[in-house]
Amino acid sequence: MAIKRPNRAKSPPAPALAASPPSRAAGQKHSFRLYVAGQTGRSALALQNLQAICDELLAGRYTIEVVDLLKHPELASTDEIIAIPTLVRRHPKPFRKILGDLSDRSRVLVGLDLLEHRP
Amino acid sequence: MTRPSGAKTPPSAVPQQRSLRWRQLVEAEATLRAIRDGKVDHVVVNEPGGPAVATLQNARERELHRDLREAQALAKLGTWTYRGNLVTWSDQMYALHQRDPALGPPTLKESFALFSDASALRLEAAVNAALQTGQGFELDLETAGKDSRWCHMKAEPIHSPTEGLTGLRGTAQDMTVSRKAEAERERLLFLDVEVGRLKGLNEMRSDFLNAAAHDLNNPLTPILIELAVMAQEAGADVRRQASIKLLHRNSKRLQVLIQDMLISSRLQSGRMTLKYASHDACALLQHAVHSFESVAAAGDVRLALEAEPCMVDMDEERMGQVVYNLLSNGIKYTPPGGTLNVHLSATKDKLRIDMTDSGLGMTPPQLERLFQPFVRLHENVPGAAKGTGLGLYICKGLVEAHGGRIWASSPGPGKGSTFNVELPLRRPT
């Protein structure tokens, strides 16, 4: 946690440096972990939305690990998951958490630093 | 206020703790907001046995779910799915099958066993066919158990865009009430038809008996007349007179039997017509007793009558037949040295005849069968085999046609018996 905090504190200036598309984060290899409960409802929707976004912006440079907490509830403690579905970006650092079914595309892009930043 | 300053100071234990708490607070707030806004549909809760996933339902969903459950209960319509080897049931399915919801839904195999053998076979075949062909089905099924119910089951395949046919979903409509009503209606209809058929048969039988008795009776009259002529012509020829007497006696007996048949068939079909007139019952009894005196004397039976004049509305011929029958029986079944007392009494609206003999008597079961047709209680008594077994049956029918009643009592076998007849003095309206 002590490491993450400086990262977070630094990140606000970053968009100003990387002013041109694609965004700084978009160029890196991404790894996601999606916490779901079964394969219905918002969990299924979240996976579909995540895949669509990744295919579009991170084609070939991402991995998605799906954790079904209905089957393995004990894994919830790994990333301190409280609500489901939750997307955790494990790489690049810092960790990011996005709650919900990821259907609000622009919010997801902001949350994952994938937005093309305008000056 | 503390955060900016914390960010500027070099890392130390206190700000680290603060920032951790801060981050946790922010995260908790975001989580709460997500839950409030319905962005998530499950939460992880800490159960004593470890973390577990709980389903969240917002108020609208809960309301819809409740409405659906109530509508299903009202319509007695259950819904089910079968997917990935798992069966799911709506609450109404548990009600239909009277299964404890705590047990959860059955497996597919178990769910077949919830129906009667024939229904289970049909359902299993239909489910297998549906899973192979992807076609739905509709069946009327009976549940197993003694309190069985009927349901109309509809099913359709579940198709997923990626995997194709993944299972079945369907409804089960409880049809027990309408099915029972229909069965009851059919039963009543059948009974109605059956009653009509039996009535028709009974009428046909009565008509036949009536016609047969008539036709049998007709030739007897000329035979009897001719016999009377022959008896005159025979004169003193003892051998011929003897054979004519035999013919006459048997023809007369035949006539009596036919008359019995005729009357009982009329009584059965309710076509007995009585010729009512006012008569003295005392005179009728005196006449009857008088004509039996010689028979009684021959059997060494003491015959006594105690009566006073009593006018009554009746068909004299038919009531005479009743009295003759009872007297004949009484004498027949009283051993030599016995007595037969006839007593007539009257109240202001009723007449009563009691005939008490010191004869064979009867057991209670015999008394019960006494007035049924073709019943002869004392087969081994000489002369008993002469009758048709219709005598007392006809008596009962004639007395009841007059609006009266007849019954018998006996202290037991060998202790004699009493026959009682009660008649209204006035013709019943």
Question: Residue B314: what pLDDT?
Answer: 93
A73 touches chain B (CB under 8 A): yes
Average pLDDT value for chain B: 86
pLDDT tens for each residue of A5-34: 334 444 444 444 433 445 555 567 889 999
Q: Does the pLDDT value for residue B280 go beyond 70?
A: yes
CB atoms B55 and A101 under 8 Å = no
Tell me the pLDDT band of B278, cut-offs 50, 70 and 90.
very high
Closest chain B residue to the Cα of A85, Cα to Cα = B40
Which of A70, A74, A99 faces B34 most closely, judged by CB atoms? A99
Closest residue in B to A70 (Cα–Cα) = B53
How many pairs of residues across A and B have Cβ atoms under 8 Å apart?
74
Chain B interface includes A101 (CB < 8 A):
yes
Determine the residue among A47, A87, A99 to mutate to test chain B binding: the one whose Cβ has the most chain B Cβ atoms within 10 Å: A99
Looking at per-residue confidence, does B217 or A64 come out higher?
A: A64
Interface contact B41-A69, CB threshold 8 A: no
Q: What is the H or E stretch that residue A43 is in?
A: helix A41-57
Q: Give the Cα-Cα-Cα angle B377, B382, B385 (nearest 5 degrees).
A: 55
Q: What CA–CA distance (Å, rounded) separates B6 from B341?
A: 134
pLDDT at position A33: 94
Q: Which of B19, B20, B40 sits opposite A83 (nearest CB)?
A: B40
Give the pair of three-digit tokens for residue B329: 């029986």
Note whether A37 contacts B7, CB cutoff 8 Å.
no
- The pTM assigned to this predicted structure is 0.45
Q: Are B336 and B296 in contact (CB under 8 A)?
A: no
- Three-state SS annotation for chain B: CHHHHHHHCCCCHHHHHHHHHHHHHHHHHHHHHHHHCCCCCEEEEEECCEEEEEECCCHHHHHHHHHHHHHHHHHCEEEEEEECCEEEECHHHHHHHCCCHHHCCCCHHHHHHCECHHHHHHHHHHHHHHHHHCCCEEEEEEECCCCCCEEEEEEEEEEECCCEEEEEEEEEEECHHHHHHHHHHHHHHHHHHHHHHHHHHHHHHHHHHHHHHHHHHCCHHHHHHHHHHHHHHHCCCHHHHHHHHHHHHHHHHHHHHHHHHHHHHHHHHCCCCCCCEEEEHHHHHHHHHHHHHHHHHHCCCEEEEECCCCEEEECHHHHHHHHHHHHHHHHHCCCCCCEEEEEEEECCCEEEEEEEECCCCCCHHHHHHCCCCCCCCCCCCCCHHHCCCCHHHHHHHHHHHCCCEEEEECCCCCCCEEEEEEEECCCCC
A101 CA: distance to closest CA in chain B (Å)? 6
pLDDT in tens, A59-118: 888 999 999 988 888 888 888 888 889 999 998 888 888 998 888 888 888 888 887 654
Percent of chain B with pLDDT over 90: 40
Contact A1, B21 (CB under 8 A): no
Average pLDDT over residues B377-397: 72
For residue B56, the distance in angstroms to the closest alpha carbon of chain A comes to 10
Which tokens hold the place of B149? 């119910």
State mean pLDDT over B365-378.
Answer: 81
The mean pLDDT value for B51-77 works out to: 83
User: Structure tokens of B359?
Assistant: 């004869």
| Any A CB within 8 A of B35 CB | yes
Give the pLDDT confidence of B187-205 residue by residue, as tens digits.
Answer: 999 999 999 999 888 888 8
A100 touches chain B (CB under 8 A): yes
Put the strands of the sheet holding B302-306 in their side by side order: B302-306, B339-346, B350-357, B417-424, B405-409
d(CA A98, CA B128): 44
